[in-house]
Chain A
Amino acid sequence: MAGITSKTIHDIFQSMEYGPSSSSTATAQAWLESHSRALGLFIDGKFVRSADRQTCNVTDSSGGPVCSTVCAVDEDASLSVSSGASGFKAWSALPCHLRAKTLLRLVSSLQRHGQCLSELCDLAQSPSSPSALVRLLQYYSGWAQLRDSLIPDWTPRGVVVVVVSDDCSLYSLMLKVLPALAMGNAVVAIPGVGTAPPVLLLAQLFVEAGLPAGVLNVVTGSVLSLGSKVAQNPHVSYVTYSGNKKDGEILCRATAGMGVPVSLSLSLGATCPFIIFESADIDSAVDGVIETAFKKNRECQWMLCVQESVWDSVVARLKVRMAGMKSVPLLAEGDRRLVDAAVQEAQQQGATLIQPCPPSSSGAAYPPTVLCGVAPSCTCVVTPSPGPLLPLLSFRSHGEGVTLGNHSPHGQAASIWTEDLTLALEAAKSLSVGAVWVNSHSVMDPSLPISGHKESGNCIDGGKEGLFQFLRPSSSPPLPRSSPASVDYSKFGTAASAAIIPEGSNSSSTPRSYLQYVGGKQCKSESGSSVCVLAPGGGTVLAHCPDGGRKDVRNAVEAAIKVQPGWMKKSPVARAQSLFSLAETLELKRRDMAVSLHSQTGLSLEKADMEVELSIAQLCDWAARCDKEKGGVPSVPQSGSALSIPEALGVVGVVLPDSSPLLSMVSLLAAAVAMGNAVIMVPSPKYPLPALEFIQVLQSSDLPGGVVSIITGGRDQLTQALANHSVIKAIWYWGSMEGCQFLQHTCASPLKSLWLHCQEKDGGRDWAQPHASLQEEMWRQAVQWKSVWIPTA
């Protein structure tokens, strides 16, 4: 400090440098002192501190101690959940307006103590703005007020666990905690090291504002092990995670088989394209790059893509703007080695550097660096290193720019810069990411959903869309809780089906051999073998159906990706027409279908006909919904327009339930296809015939071949095959507990959205009851969300 204070006015007059920014932390320090700088867990409305627990130190940016937090043990974990369970009783019993009132009271409390909170965030190196939190609270108190009137027939899940990784921001954490509370759930929050002190302060403020004890508990410690410890408790009904990919996957695997749905928001560390088209305001675009690309704590890793015609112009401006920039501290000691290696490799591959100053020979800081002219295959693009490095790639045409941006396993967000409105909207539509910022970057508001596409998550936060993760249809039971079984994941679904041997039966009763349906054609399985379908009650062989496997799933996926983009781009009206025609064809074949249902399930012909009738009604329902389900134009505080748009997921794998085999299949097929997806369906191994009979209907419809494929065979074998195909974005599963566990474990990476149902423990849903919330749940499962921000002056 001596060096700084000794600067004379004349020195500064000459150099015109900025002064040091100093901010007071007195309020936060006073609060920490009142806790003797040792923060306990926050359970049942109060701080709890057992003397025998290990502690963890929170440090400030210069490594100095800020305070300590407790490392919770098993006992604390179960205490927090049982407190949550009783908190949930009290909280969910309140009428909506009282929950809303409590959240609003916190707004004024937060405005009063905003200084303390923001100082505490700065101290704990987890920067956050109290005004953004106030906006979150105001937004969600509105939803708390309106839940019953705008989202009827849905109930809160119960005790929800919110887990974040150490590097996750307070905002991302509260973006899950507040909607969970607003919908009437109790929350056990497991913050990272840096977010722990501010979350503990918020929990205290919440209780002061009148939140019943136990509704928000905060347990601190090692995030990963604690997450699964807490989730183990049978009172937990949902786990949601925000943070980096690695920790998310570990959490997913550790909780597989517990019977708790887990969703991941993997925004941190995602590579996001920053695309500058030649029609952009180049200066403003470069301004955006400077503002966001080199920050010490940045949520995403930008990849700068510049159209060749303005390449020189962008590079020249980057040089001017970066000239005075200072080195950025690295987050960890070992990062320097990684940064040096990444820069060296990029240079070896022909990249040139833009740096304000050469890096010091060693030390945990590095100058902001643009790696000009790296190829998409360079390691610094594929697996970005930590530190203030920005890869700069070129593209030739608009189309290539979008392709470059899309060619990544991540799908978090993109920033695009152009003054050409048509280009902006077309690019926004074509980018497979959850958020597109037009001529802007990093804009957020709780009224718009944030949901990563591809490997960036399977969870929707924010907006009305983000509320549904904390709700379930009142008429549908939750996933039954269980303990993880010891499953050999490498062996699951690898057993061969029982071979069929000639039995010498007489020719008059030879069972019929069915074919499966792949890419619009009926075919045998790739293996050529079949399995027996037994008549109801067992005993006689009713038919033979193909014993499909990995190769059949592969063929179906190949066919699906050829037609799905075109199907998705078709006008909703055209999709509706196709579904209506499907309904008409089913009508023509209703007798055949009823007979098939009757002989397969033993259902009376009358009831079977009723099921066909309901299936026709479902097709018509979804045909009608095609052009009705849409996003919106939410009002946001910023000036300009923002859109939230539902998009098809892509290819969806559906492992069908045993119950109501025709109706359930038609309902799920219609929902997925109506929203623009392609489906690969695995009929119930017990009752596959109605699905196979339905192939006739599909064949005479005008659905493009490949939009629907039906593959029969062993449920486990085909589940395994679906799980191991990266193109498949979502799996809707009805099956065994073990299957659920396998999927949760396997679909953590590459990530898929899972909609799991255990047939063993509950009777499953009643497909014949047309609850509006069940259809709503289906269409919400069938889409992913994209937000488009178009700020204007």
Chain B
Amino acid sequence: MSARNPGMPLDLAWVSKVRVNTQAVLKRAQQIQGRNKNKKQWQAAWLLRAVTCIDLTTLAGDDTPGNVHRLCMKATQPVRYDLLKSMDMQDKGVTTAAVCVYPSRVADAVKSLKAANSSLPVASVATGFPAGQTSLKTRLEEVRMAVEDGAMEIDIVINRTLALTGQWEGSDFIKTSTGKESVNATYPVAIVMVRAIRDYFLKTGHKVGFKPAGGIRTAKESLVWLTLMKEELGDEWLSPRLFRLGASSLLADIERQIYHHVTGRYAAYHQMPMA
């Protein structure tokens, strides 16, 4: 992905002028959660769109080339072919947005995808994930190595010491959290973040993407996330270019909901191919 946010000189006066009214944001979050009542084909279409925004992720200490390969194959065919076919969506390029792995597994993922003839990008968390408390030198080296191994996107953990002391960094995407925190992607926090994206866009014309991560497990939640983006930022932020869902188990639930839409029956998890 090309750097689309050239950034601007740091303006802390702007940052300090930001006002957030917590109760109004909480109310807005509730309203958004009650907003999407899509049924039938609308629900199916929105779920498929959610699939295309997923960064299918495995970030475990015991990741091996084997399970990374399974993940890559699931990413290229996230929804059972027969289900897609019955919705006439089999040839519409429904894949996840990317696969997301640790730097040491990037090479495995790139190899698996290449073998499957897929152009799906590999994203890697880098820079001392998840705490970011390593020195700048090793962090930069980590990014370089991941890129050399073929990673197209890097999820950087910012140095929160710098952020909390007001020394911010710029990016193409902002992410709610690493997914490894006690509190991860919540709607009120997301509303504040996407409004910052809007603020920056109105000021500079640069579009920054948004990636909620951590704890997003159900199809229904994915629909709320899409609604939130549509309501606050508009339809342009509903594509993988500007919106990602960082998740591992979400896809299975979405696939089951799609199964229900197609067949009218509720699926067991084992009926869906494993990631």
Interface string of B81-115 (1 = CB under 8 A from A): 00000011100100000000000000000000000
B235 contacts the other chain (CB 8 A): yes
Roughly how many angstroms separate A417 CA and B24 CA in the complex, as a whole number? 10
Once the chains bind, are B226 and A791 in contact (CB under 8 Å)? no
Once the chains bind, are B89 and A439 in contact (CB under 8 Å)? no
B144 contacts the other chain (CB 8 A): no
Interface residues of B, Cβ cutoff 8 Å to A: 19-28, 31, 36-46, 48-49, 87-89, 92, 195, 198-199, 202, 226, 230, 233-235, 238
Once the chains bind, are B21 and A281 in contact (CB under 8 Å)? yes
Roughly how many angstroms separate A317 CA and B203 CA in the complex, as a whole number? 11
Q: Which of A11-19, A33-41, A545-553, A555-563 contacts B (4 or more CB under 8 A)?
A: A11-19
A632 contacts the other chain (CB 8 A): no
Write the nearest CB–CB distance from A584 to chain B, whole angstroms. 50
Once the chains bind, are B46 and A12 in contact (CB under 8 Å)? yes
List the 3 closest pairs (A to B, CB-CB), nearest first. Answer: A19-B42, A12-B45, A284-B24
**Interfacial chain A residues near B44, Cβ < 8 Å:** 9
Once the chains bind, are A13 and B92 in contact (CB under 8 Å)? yes
Other 19 A-B pairs with CB < 8 A, given A320-B198, A320-B233, A791-B27: A9-B45, A9-B48, A10-B89, A13-B89, A16-B226, A18-B42, A19-B38, A19-B39, A19-B41, A280-B19, A281-B24, A284-B24, A285-B24, A287-B24, A323-B234, A324-B230, A417-B21, A791-B23, A791-B24
Roughly how many angstroms separate A11 CA and B42 CA in the complex, as a whole number? 10
Write the nearest CB–CB distance from B209 to chain A, whole angstroms. 16
Interface residues of A, Cβ cutoff 8 Å to B: 7-13, 15-19, 21-22, 279-285, 287-288, 291, 313, 316-317, 320, 323-324, 417, 419, 439-440, 639-640, 791-793
Write the nearest CB–CB distance from B255 to chain A, whole angstroms. 15
Once the chains bind, are A320 and B234 in contact (CB under 8 Å)? yes
Q: Which of A18, A280, A281 contacts B36 (CB 8 A)?
A: A18
In chain B, what residue has the closest Cβ to A290? B231
Once the chains bind, are A16 and B49 in contact (CB under 8 Å)? yes
**Interfacial chain B residues near A12, Cβ < 8 Å:** 41-42, 45-46
Q: Which of B24, B87, B199, B226 contacts A440 (CB 8 A)?
A: B24
Roughly how many angstroms separate A279 CA and B31 CA in the complex, as a whole number? 24
**Interfacial chain B residues near A323, Cβ < 8 Å:** 234
Once the chains bind, are B28 and A287 in contact (CB under 8 Å)? yes
Roughly how many angstroms separate A639 CA and B24 CA in the complex, as a whole number? 12
**Interfacial chain A residues near B40, Cβ < 8 Å:** 19
Once the chains bind, are A439 and B202 in contact (CB under 8 Å)? no
Write the nearest CB–CB distance from A273 to chain B, whole angstroms. 18
**Interfacial chain B residues near A316, Cβ < 8 Å:** 202
**Interfacial chain B residues near A21, Cβ < 8 Å:** 37
Roughly how many angstroms separate A58 CA and B48 CA in the complex, as a whole number? 42
**Interfacial chain B residues near A19, Cβ < 8 Å:** 37-43
**Interfacial chain B residues near A282, Cβ < 8 Å:** 19
Write the nearest CB–CB distance from B253 to chain A, whole angstroms. 19
**Interfacial chain B residues near A439, Cβ < 8 Å:** 21, 23-24
Write the nearest CB–CB distance from A152 to chain B, whole angstroms. 39
In chain B, what residue has the closest Cβ to A14? B45
Write the nearest CB–CB distance from B240 to chain A, whole angstroms. 13
Roughly how many angstroms separate A284 CA and B199 CA in the complex, as a whole number? 13
Once the chains bind, are A16 and B88 in contact (CB under 8 Å)? no
**Interfacial chain A residues near B238, Cβ < 8 Å:** 16
In chain A, what residue has the closest Cβ to B25? A284
Once the chains bind, are A793 and B26 in contact (CB under 8 Å)? yes
Residue pairs across A and B with CB atoms within 8 Å: the count is: 98
**Interfacial chain A residues near B42, Cβ < 8 Å:** 12, 17-19
User: With contacts A9-B44, A19-B39 known, is A279 near B88, CB below 8 A?
Assistant: no
Write the nearest CB–CB distance from B33 to chain A, whole angstroms. 15
Write the nearest CB–CB distance from B41 to chain A, whole angstroms. 5
**Interfacial chain A residues near B36, Cβ < 8 Å:** 18
Write the nearest CB–CB distance from A444 to chain B, whole angstroms. 15
Once the chains bind, are B23 and A281 in contact (CB under 8 Å)? no
In chain B, what residue has the closest Cβ to A282? B19
Write the nearest CB–CB distance from A472 to chain B, whole angstroms. 41
Once the chains bind, are A13 and B22 in contact (CB under 8 Å)? no
Roughly how many angstroms separate A107 CA and B234 CA in the complex, as a whole number? 42
Roughly how many angstroms separate A419 CA and B198 CA in the complex, as a whole number? 20
Roughly how many angstroms separate A15 CA and B234 CA in the complex, as a whole number? 12
Write the nearest CB–CB distance from A323 to chain B, whole angstroms. 6
User: With contacts A283-B198, A320-B234, A324-B235 known, is A13 near B19, CB below 8 A?
Assistant: no
User: With contacts A18-B36, A284-B28 known, is A7 near B23, CB below 8 A?
Assistant: no
Roughly how many angstroms separate A291 CA and B27 CA in the complex, as a whole number? 12
Once the chains bind, are A10 and B92 in contact (CB under 8 Å)? yes
Roughly how many angstroms separate A80 CA and B37 CA in the complex, as a whole number? 44
**Interfacial chain B residues near A285, Cβ < 8 Å:** 24
Roughly how many angstroms separate A15 CA and B238 CA in the complex, as a whole number? 10
Write the nearest CB–CB distance from B231 to chain A, whole angstroms. 8
Q: Which of B20, B41, B198 contacts A9 (CB 8 A)?
A: B41
**Interfacial chain A residues near B37, Cβ < 8 Å:** 19, 21
The contact sample of 26 A-B pairs, CB cut-off 8 A, is: A9-B48, A9-B88, A12-B41, A12-B46, A13-B92, A16-B45, A16-B49, A18-B36, A19-B37, A19-B38, A19-B42, A21-B37, A279-B19, A280-B19, A281-B21, A281-B24, A282-B19, A317-B202, A324-B230, A439-B23, A440-B24, A639-B23, A791-B23, A791-B24, A791-B27, A793-B22
**Interfacial chain B residues near A639, Cβ < 8 Å:** 23
Roughly how many angstroms separate A288 CA and B233 CA in the complex, as a whole number? 16
**Interfacial chain A residues near B24, Cβ < 8 Å:** 281, 284-285, 287-288, 439-440, 791
**Interfacial chain B residues near A287, Cβ < 8 Å:** 24, 28
Once the chains bind, are B38 and A18 in contact (CB under 8 Å)? yes
In chain A, what residue has the closest Cβ to B233? A320
Write the nearest CB–CB distance from A421 to chain B, whole angstroms. 12
Roughly how many angstroms separate A18 CA and B231 CA in the complex, as a whole number? 11
Write the nearest CB–CB distance from B53 to chain A, whole angstroms. 11
Q: Which of A9, A279, A317, A792 contacts B89 (CB 8 A)?
A: A9
Write the nearest CB–CB distance from A356 to chain B, whole angstroms. 11
In chain A, what residue has the closest Cβ to B24? A284
Roughly how many angstroms separate A9 CA and B84 CA in the complex, as a whole number? 10
Once the chains bind, are A283 and B195 in contact (CB under 8 Å)? yes
Roughly how many angstroms separate A17 CA and B230 CA in the complex, as a whole number? 9
Roughly how many angstroms separate A282 CA and B202 CA in the complex, as a whole number? 13
Write the nearest CB–CB distance from B220 to chain A, whole angstroms. 15
Roughly how many angstroms separate A280 CA and B20 CA in the complex, as a whole number? 8
Roughly how many angstroms separate A793 CA and B21 CA in the complex, as a whole number? 9
Roughly how many angstroms separate A417 CA and B21 CA in the complex, as a whole number? 9
In chain A, what residue has the closest Cβ to B40? A19
Write the nearest CB–CB distance from B98 to chain A, whole angstroms. 19
Once the chains bind, are B20 and A16 in contact (CB under 8 Å)? no
Roughly how many angstroms separate A291 CA and B24 CA in the complex, as a whole number? 12
**Interfacial chain B residues near A13, Cβ < 8 Å:** 45, 48-49, 89, 92
In chain A, what residue has the closest Cβ to B238? A16
In chain B, what residue has the closest Cβ to A15? B235
Roughly how many angstroms separate A18 CA and B230 CA in the complex, as a whole number? 10
**Interfacial chain B residues near A313, Cβ < 8 Å:** 202
Write the nearest CB–CB distance from A284 to chain B, whole angstroms. 4
Write the nearest CB–CB distance from B115 to chain A, whole angstroms. 29
Once the chains bind, are B230 and A16 in contact (CB under 8 Å)? yes
Roughly how many angstroms separate A313 CA and B89 CA in the complex, as a whole number? 41
Roughly how many angstroms separate A317 CA and B201 CA in the complex, as a whole number? 11
**Interfacial chain B residues near A640, Cβ < 8 Å:** 23
Write the nearest CB–CB distance from B163 to chain A, whole angstroms. 21
Once the chains bind, are B48 and A16 in contact (CB under 8 Å)? no
**Interfacial chain A residues near B41, Cβ < 8 Å:** 7-9, 12, 19
User: With contacts A13-B45, A13-B49 known, is A792 near B38, CB below 8 A?
Assistant: no
